[in-house]
Amino acid sequence: MRWSWIDFDRGFIHIPSEATKTAKPRSIPMNQVVRDLLIDRRGSRGKGAFVFASPKTGGLLTDIKHGFVAACEDAKVFDFRFHDLRHTAATRLADAGADPFVIAEILGHSDLRMTKRYTHATDERKRQALERLAQFSNRKPEKRRASQTNCHKIVTMKERKVG
């Protein structure tokens, strides 16, 4: 990632088409945590063109997998791949209530089926959804307008017969 891609004024990271897997440019909004970290990084190490430069050459960092593997070993985290971070991010976005279309945009997916592969329903999120369903069914009945064929008759949920 290059410093020239970061728009601190508008709060976006603009990735040019030549740097994306799909060859389409992308703009990703920064949250305050990312913004603050990048501002701090720019102040301490932002002399070159790259946000994450090679510590040996100061140039383009071509492979971060060795550092990632070492960090996982230090943290005693096993059976975890770098790509798993995308799955974790998608799942956390969903847990936070993000719409699937928004998650797809952030991850750069053009098809929601791909987003579905990355977003995993957690037990807690499933439990919360079922609790919302229970709360919905326990609400007081509202007055509802009947269809046009019933000529504006007001019917409450209790008046309806089921079965």
Q: What is the domain extent for residue 37?
A: 1-62
Nearest alpha-carbon partner for 3 in 56, 46, 34? 46
- Looking at residues 121-150, what average pLDDT do you find? 72
Average pLDDT score over the chain: 83
pLDDT(78) > 70 = yes
What's the confidence (pLDDT) of residue 75?
A: 96
Q: Which residues 6+ apart lie within 8 Å of 48 measured at CB?
A: 58, 59
- Domain assignment present for residue 16? The answer is yes
- Domain total in the chain: 1
Q: What is the pLDDT of residue 124?
A: 84
123-137 vs 84-95: helix crossing angle, rounded to 10: 20
pTM of the predicted protein model: 0.67
Residue 45 domain flag: yes
For the segment 143-161, what is each residue's pLDDT rounded down to a tens digit?
555 544 444 444 444 455 5
Give the tens place of pLDDT for each residue, 83-107.
899 999 999 999 888 899 999 999 8
pLDDT of residue 2: 93
User: Do 13 and 5 meet the contact criterion of CB atoms below 8 Å apart?
Assistant: yes
- Give a yes or no: residue 54 inside a domain: yes
Q: For residue 35, what is the enclosing H or E element? A: helix 32-45
Question: Average pLDDT of 28-36?
Answer: 94
Is 41 part of a structural domain of the chain?
yes
